[in-house]
Structure 1
């Protein structure tokens, strides 16, 4: 029986041991993309909330339950999916969101199969027939002035997931005079329209980057 292990927010990204790899028959469509959950056990996701899944090629599954962040190991082949014990942060949210989180966990803990339908939707299923349905968040690839590549997706209107230099960074929206600015504890991603972005490090204590960063242009 799988279980969730509570973890303090600062250590939510610590890995559980991984002892297997993604099966050779695992569809390339499953991995390395942000899946935004739309329906949990027959109920649509609450407006303004976000539950997500991201299957890495390193057998790491990460995302949000609606209220908390989680991490787990997984193995997959063409249709079967096994998710190991997971770690999770321990924030409290509004009762409706907590109820949705529990529905997510009830299905997540029992998932045994997956499929991606012809419309591109991901369906995770339990032996009893309960499902989680998700769609891939669009990803924009940028070429930056220092020669690096940045990939960005926006699971919700208030969040961004940026991958740069082999690191995936989850960010939240922040106040900006123009464009859309997202920050994590260490990084700032500032977009202007859909074609340009600026990635800059945040110094300790900063909420607005003083470093010039690198300018990135969408491919």
Structure 2
């Protein structure tokens, strides 16, 4: 696009509010016109970009602050699945219930942790049944059960089944 040094194009730039930089430097020459137009357009694009980034940041902040009601279903064939429910008593706190879901290929435990329930998956163990979920380990050996925080390397609970 050729830029004219006067006339109609100059009047358009002088009247348009987004091109105030052009209005201030239009008398200097064609080189200044090009520089001023480029700067005005890039400033305008930067404004759009900043508004876009701000709106993304606000959306992410609101989405992460919103409470999530999450649910899921486990696809087990009920003919192939056994469900065991065991109540445990621990040294500290109230008794609680753990549900074990066993199929031909998978064993899961639903354990109350962190004021909710976590799904623990059975993994290889030298002895007993060992289940993991994130940083937690639920390990049953004979009549003893231990909940461990593997990152802090500390036992959180020592429990035994309630045989009433």
TM bucket, shorter chain: 0.3 to 0.5
Greater percentage in strand? 1
Pick 1 or 2: higher relative contact order, CA cutoff 8 A, min separation 6. 1
TM-score, normalised relative to structure 1: 0.36
TM-score, normalised relative to structure 2: 0.46
Greater percentage in helix? 2
